Amino acid sequence: MLDIAGQELTAEDREVIAHPLVGGVLLFTRNYRDPEQLKRLCDDILAIKKPRPLLAVDHEGGRVQRFRVGFSRIPAMRTLGKLYEESPTKAHEEARRCGELIGQELGAFGFDLPFAPVLDRDCEVSQIIGDRAFASETGVLIELARSFWQGLNAAGLSATGKHFPGHGAVTADSHVELPVDRRQLPALEADMQPFKALMDEGLESIMMAHVRYTAVDATPASLSEKWIRGIVRRQWKYNGAIFCDDLSMGGAAVAGTLEERAKLALEAGCDMIPVCNDRNGALRVLEALRDHKPNRLSSARLKRLYRRPVATP
């Protein structure tokens, strides 16, 4: 999954997206001017090849909402957790409304995924997560994330739970460095409960965290065969799609060059690997993977993420 630099496609963008190993495009705030421009851009991307690329954007609400002018302002998910303390019923309704609203607005432009909901539990130490988390209490988090997910599905979009197995108990920001979680397995399992609950219910995809959990593996979870093939696939029997977090982030840099990280992520079991904000690096990855044969099972999992038609009432 790659990105583009501007608000319209260049000749190089078209050539790169057409590459047989490119299966998705991730858009950012820099790619948006107004709804009319965004619709042209999305249409152009989706028309490049068949099967068309998956189209995604980080659009959680609060601090992480890439498109604002012309879009509904979505609150930080923490506000739903606060509302739950006053009225669980109203909090569920609002969570579902937020998910459905995001799904309706993004779906109108052709998006398949908003890379949400955040399933990280807020342990009150991570500023990068903070109010992006629904709650600190696991049960509340699961309930509200489920309602949000149901809203997305009602609008025809799939969901991505992130950042597995949990980013909320580390202070470092994985965008710039590798966080290390030194807690023992029982503490990690508490953070994993929201992921496990929704994955058991059929959550369409998850995104792995660039975090090292020393109780399980010295390799960051995003690149770890123990985490992905061992725990998620074999122990939990999860059959949804697995995204690596962006390989250009600082948290992944400990694993070597972009090319080396890409190979590690695929070997560990990731179905799709985002490489953004580094076009030259992305081109090197495509060259390094020129002999890579796309996994049919991965392709089938990713195919389930395409937006679905919504029945008219």
Helix (H) or strand (E) holding 27: strand 24-27
- The per-residue DSSP string of 199-247 comes to HHTT--EEEE-S-EETTT-SS-GGG-HIIIIIIIIIIT---SEEEPPPT
Residues 6+ apart with CB under 8 A from 94: 80, 83
Do the Cβ atoms of 53 and 3 come closer than 8 Å?
A: no
- The per-residue DSSP string of 125-162 comes to --TTTGGGSS-SSHHHHHHHHHHHHHHHHHTT---EEE
List 164's β-bridge partners, or say none: 208
**Mean pLDDT to the nearest integer, 217-222:** 94
Rounded CA-CA distance 61/77 in Å is 7
Kindly report the pTM of this predicted structure: 0.94
Residue 313 has pLDDT above 60, yes or no: no
Whole-number pLDDT of residue 312 = 58
Chain segment 8-54, per-residue pLDDT in tens: 999 999 999 999 999 999 999 999 999 999 999 999 999 999 999 99
Residue 270 pLDDT level (bands cut at 50, 70, 90):
very high
Residue 256 pLDDT level (bands cut at 50, 70, 90):
confident
What percent of the chain has a predicted confidence (pLDDT) above 70?
98
Whole-number pLDDT of residue 261 = 93
Catalytic residues: 175, 245
Residues 6+ apart with CB under 8 A from 244: 207, 208, 222, 223, 252, 265, 270, 272, 273, 274
Do the Cβ atoms of 24 and 56 come closer than 8 Å?
A: yes
Residue 129 pLDDT level (bands cut at 50, 70, 90):
confident
Q: Which residue is associated with the tokens 């985490």?
A: 227
Chain segment 63-116, per-residue pLDDT in tens: 999 999 999 999 999 999 999 999 999 999 999 999 999 999 999 999 999 999
Q: Which residue is associated with the tokens 């432009």?
A: 109
Instruction: Give the domains, in start order, of the chain with CATH numbers.
Output: 11-303 (3.20.20.300)
Q: Which residue is associated with the tokens 């809203």?
A: 151
160-164/180-181 β-pairing: unpaired
Chain segment 160-187, per-residue pLDDT in tens: 999 999 988 787 767 767 889 999 998 8
Residues 6+ apart with CB under 8 A from 197: 142, 146
**Mean pLDDT to the nearest integer, 275-300:** 93
Higher pLDDT residue, 253 or 29? 29
Residue 311 pLDDT level (bands cut at 50, 70, 90):
low
Amino acid in the structure at residue 288: A
Residue 227 has pLDDT above 90, yes or no: yes
Q: Give me the phi and psi of 185, to 5 degrees please.
A: -55, -40
- Considering the chain, what is the average pLDDT of its residues? 93
Q: Which of 179, 248, 242, 255 is nearest to 212 (CA)?
A: 179
Whole-number pLDDT of residue 76 = 95
Whole-number pLDDT of residue 265 = 95
What percent of the chain has a predicted confidence (pLDDT) above 90?
84
**Mean pLDDT to the nearest integer, 121-137:** 86
Residue 146 has pLDDT above 90, yes or no: yes
Determine the angle formed by the axes of helices 78-86 and 138-154, rounding to 10 degrees: 110
